[in-house]
Amino acid sequence: MKKTLSLDKEELQILEDFERGEFKRIPDFRVEKKALEDSARNALQKDKRINIRISSRDLERIQMRAARAGMPYQTYISSTLHKLVAGRLVEEG
């Protein structure tokens, strides 16, 4: 007897993204994971607070990228800004 999966909205989105081929293998996963962990750890050492206004479309894209990276979107933003000021992220344009 075939068992039917019951997926929530987020799980369905992940499955659809996978089936479209949007997930790519990370060549050196351990190195990338360590770099992300270090960035997240550094980003978590917070001593200042800021408030910014961004478009809802940009926020949705940031939240999607954060979900793919497996972290909360505020942590993802902080980590990305840290990489930018540390010279490990190249500005576009």
| SS3 at position 45 | coil
Q: Which residue has the higher pLDDT, 30 or 91?
A: 30
32 Cβ partners below 8 Å, 6+ apart? Answer: 26
Average pLDDT over residues 28-51: 82
Please give the angle made by the CA atoms of 66, 72 and 75, to the nearest 5 degrees: 90
Contact 74, 62 (CB under 8 A): no
pLDDT at 55: 96
Quick: pLDDT tens for 11-27: 888 888 888 988 888 88
Average pLDDT, the chain: 86
The predicted-structure confidence for 48-68, as pLDDT tens digits, reads as follows 889 999 999 999 999 999 999
* Predicted model pTM: 0.50
- Position 68 scores a pLDDT of 93
pLDDT of 14 reads 87
Q: Please, which pLDDT band fits residue 92 given cuts at 50, 70 and 90?
A: low
Domain ranges of the chain: 26-85
Residue 92 per-residue DSSP state: P
**d(Cα 53, Cα 64) in Å, to the nearest integer?**
18
